[in-house]
Amino acid sequence: MTSQDKYAVFGNPIKHSKSPAIHAAFASQCGQSMQYRAVRVETGDFERAASNFFAGGGKGLNITMPFKEDAFRFAGRLSERAQRAGAVNTLTLADDGVIEGDTTDGVGLVRDMVANLGWMVQGRQVLIIGAGGAVRGVLEPLLRERPGLLVIVNRTAARAEQLATVFSDLGPVEGGGYGIIGARQFDLVINASGAGLAGELPDLPSSVLTERSCCYDMVYGPEPTPFMRWAAHHAAWAVSDGLGMLVEQAAQSFYIWRGQRPETQSVIARIRQSMESA
């Protein structure tokens, strides 16, 4: 690898991206010489921008909203995870010149919950709220952890049902509207709903929680999210936002690109501190 290999994150908006700071910390920690910058790409211009980036010597791209499906179509070769997700957040220039597409979101989520937070997925009853791209991107790694049951609920029941069907070969999974929750309780509740992105609460009964439930919000910020506050109010055992997922999915991208797995705990703490002091 040459010195100062070029990497970037493409998105729109992108101004407040934490990715350059995260990858700078990884590079410093691992002794890697690389450039990483955030690039705002106009809607409809992804293919041209990505082609120019790689033609100009770029080695890898992270992709954030709204271009993950564009990146899926752009990649010349896809990982099994990316094929399942129908979206790509990591593009890599392979040794044979082919642009490879992968998705690291689900790996990041599972690693944050299991390795960082010490939560168990195996054998547990898991509820995931939402059926959009964020959910589709994490289902395979979650099901690989062998939960006892994974239930997907969404305001539009058909979308949750479709996801359950697509991923049913990986483990016990159900999908539908909020009505399928009934009187069931869950060990792990993950909020990936559009309501969460908008800073609103999903339409969830508190009866889903037990005193041992862990609640994870895939969004993050300097203050606890409405979902985190709701979970804490109803006495969930443990509550977390998605900052660790952000750092862990970046660490997986870094590993794909550079072949080294950075330590993440100190980076999560540093990014958290910078958000709280901003």
Q: List, as residue ranges, the binding site.
A: 17-19, 64, 80, 89, 105, 130-134, 154-159, 218, 220, 242, 249
Q: Are strands 214-217 and 238-240 parallel, antiparallel or unpaired?
A: parallel
Angle at 44 between CA 94 and CA 242, to 5 degrees: 65
Token duo for residue 35: 């450039």
Binding residues for shikimate: 17-19, 64, 89, 105, 220, 249
Binding residues for NADP(+): 80, 130-134, 154-159, 218, 242
Helix (H), strand (E), coil (C) string for 74-139? HCCEECHHHHHHCCCCEEEECCCCCEEEECCHHHHHHHHHHHHCCCCCCCCEEEEECCCHHHHCCH
Residue of 6, 15, 59, 68 marked active site: 68
Give the orientation angle of helix 243-258 with respect to helix 265-277, to 10 degrees: 130
**What are the CA-CA distances from residue 211 to residues 140, 168, 181, 188, 191 (Å)?**
27, 29, 18, 11, 18
Q: Which residues contact 234 (CB under 8 A, 6 or more apart)?
A: 206, 209
Residue whose structure tokens are 């010489």: 33
Q: Determine the distance from the C-alpha atom of residue 154 to the mean position of all C-alpha atoms in its chain, rounded to a whole number.
A: 18
User: Is 68 tagged catalytic?
Assistant: yes
Catalytically annotated residues: 68
